[in-house]
Amino acid sequence: MSNILIIKHGSLGDIAQASGAIQDISENHKNNQIYLLTTKSYFDLFKKNPFIHDVILDKRLSKFNLIYLYSLMRKLKKLNFQKVYDLQNSTRTKFYKNILFPNINVNRWSSSETTLPSGKSKEEFDKIPVLDRFEHQLKFSGVLTNHTMKPNFSWARSNIDEIKSAYDLKNYIILFPFCSTHLVQKKWPHYNELIDLIKNKFQNQFKIVIAPGPSEINEAKQINAICVLDNGASLNISQLSSLISDSSFVIANDTGPAHMAAHLNAKGVTLFGQHTTATKVSIETVNFKAIQVSDLSKLSAGKVMEKILI
């Protein structure tokens, strides 16, 4: 039995997207043990993944921290990985390949760069949809891709019966009106108007809820919806996965929870401005669709309401 390493640091949406690729790698190495290298934010989450034998923590300290790099090198080399699948494909993971594994054969290190299509630069390759990139990388590496294009994030779910009971949640629509402070171009500003339209149309048929992250709890007070927390704290990723999966509909900015919803087979819609396209980030599914506009501030609540199908 040999050891296989997958590298996936984040972000949250990327974790959900990579679920199918991770499953395919595991199913193509059934006689091997699958390890995954990730960051603290996703360490406990990946412990739940049934396709991973064990999770290795990468603290992602400075590249000039030679003590840390030496420690990480010893830990990884001790496991004598037969093959490495770099699903992060970042400058940092390229650095790991060059520094920690300087002599590794390209057949043993699978990344977007080592598997580039003939005649394409990495810059050109990175412009194609995320899941298409994963599929090409794995197929080039000899992996059968039965799940890569249809990731299933349901492995992340946990039991939230107590939380749902505390808020009396049966039929509910969940909104994700937030975004990172440095990505304000992703933020649609008309959620309260949409909430009024939903309430007028459906009356008391659905509760309207939000589930803010730790840095979003104060901002959540500006949204006219039920704020779902766990004893005053933000839900963890597993709890949030279940809240999304059990919802009647999801409306979200282009953020991590939107990608979770897409790959939890939830019904919903995500809102895109000109920062990117729904095609490039591989977010649309049979149940989860996107509205793409040039200026999110000009997208009316009425137009979004037209897309809400219960």
Query: Mind listing the pLDDT tens digit for each residue in 135-174?
Result: 999 999 999 999 999 999 999 999 999 999 999 999 999 9
The domain total for the chain is 2
| Cis amide linkage into residue 2, ω under 30° from 0 | no
CATH of the domain at 187: 3.40.50.2000
In this prediction, residue 183 carries a pLDDT of: 73
In this prediction, residue 106 carries a pLDDT of: 81
Which residue type does 210 have?
A: I
For the record, the structure tokens of 78 come out as 């001790």
pTM: 0.94
Q: Does some domain include residue 310? A: no
Residues 92 and 202 in one domain: no
Q: Which residues of the chain have a pLDDT value below 70?
A: 309-310
Round the average pLDDT of the chain to a whole number and report it: 94
In this prediction, residue 1 carries a pLDDT of: 84
Alpha-carbon distance of 108 to 85, in angstroms, equals: 8
Per the CB < 8 A criterion, the answer to whether 42 and 17 are in contact is no
Task: Give the dihedral of Cα atoms 28, 32, 33, 36; nearest 10 deg.
Answer: -40
Residues 93 and 166 in one domain: no
Which residue type does 58 have?
A: D
In this prediction, residue 310 carries a pLDDT of: 59
In this prediction, residue 103 carries a pLDDT of: 84
| Residue range(s) defining the domain that contains residue 18 | 3-155
Gyration radius (Cα) of the chain, Å: 21
Residues 139 and 222 in one domain: no
Residues 231 and 151 in one domain: no
State which of 122, 155, 188 marks the end of a domain.
155
State which of 132, 155, 178 marks the end of a domain.
155
